[in-house]
Amino acid sequence: MNIRQALAQAQTLGLDRLDAQMLVLHALTRDPHDRAWLWSHDDTDLDDEQVARLQSLQRRRLDGEPMGYLIGWQEFHGLRLEVDARVLVPRPDTETLVTWALECLDRLNPLLSEPRVLDLGTGSGAIALALSAARPHAVLEAVDASAEALDVARRNAQRLAIPVHFHQGSWFQPVEGQHFHLIVSNPPYIADGDPHMPALRHEPLGALTAGPDGLEDLRHIVSKAPDHLVSGGWLLLEHGHDQAQAVRQLLELAGFTEVSSRTDLAGIERCSGGQRAFDG
């Protein structure tokens, strides 16, 4: 079987064309994004070991396993992050949160040499690492309840040589008594029993669901954040496609000002945030 035949067979199995190309390249131990090489070598034969590896990858993808788990990494905000089943695969939608956070950092007092940033529920470290890479003068702290997730995050930070301080614990508990200029979080926000959950069965459940309405963790973060923000500090949150209004209400009830939402590339309100009122 050559590459051209392997691609044709993958599509008859029901694989998306791009997925089929990436899996063939990965089975050949090449960069899964090197499609130029693929088309210029489409008559290259696969040996028995490569065919077996490709078939295994195809079965896993057809079963719904994320591509990031299959190839071992995911691109996020210009960074190549290692991912596996211990963490969620970073989504492009979350770059909306990163872009907004960078804008907030740029609006801080220019005399502030080391703004302090907290990433809650860091998972693979995607948000914290993206912010630290883009604004090296910021001091990044990141928290996750999962020791396994933090192992992935620390490995990413070490491999990319990006400074982030990681802590294990529940939300604000590891940073009790500390204050930040910016707090960001992409917490669990899917409701228990959501009909989309079967499609996410390969990813860690604890990083996905948050109570009957999906707002349990968002409520907790919003209620506790003012105690951990400096005067005028910002809280930015990712949430579900239909939760923007509810999250804005939570922020307003907690006393935040400048409350608003940001849309993702699909035009969906994906993030909401606000500013802690200035003292005095």
> Rounded to two decimals, what is the model's pTM?
0.92
Q: Which residues of the chain have pLDDT under 50?
A: none
C-alpha–C-alpha distance, residues 238 and 123, integer Å? 14
pLDDT of residue 189: 80
Please report where in the chains the tokens 């579900």 appear, as a residue.
240
pLDDT of residue 23: 95
- In whole angstroms, what separates CA 223 from the centre of its chain? 23
Residue burial 230-259, b: 16+ Cβ < 10 Å; e: rest: bebbbbbbbbbeebbebbbebbeebebeeb
Nearest to 239 by CA among 216, 257, 265: 216
pLDDT of residue 200: 72
Q: Where are the domains of the chain?
A: 3-63, 73-275
Residue burial 12-21, b: 16+ Cβ < 10 Å; e: rest: eeebeeebbb
CATH code of the domain occupying 73-275: 3.40.50.150
pLDDT of residue 209: 73
Q: Quick one: DSSP state of residue 278?
A: P
CB of 89 within 8 A of CB of 69? yes
Residue burial 105-118, b: 16+ Cβ < 10 Å; e: rest: beebeeeeeebbbb
C-alpha–C-alpha distance, residues 264 and 280, integer Å? 35
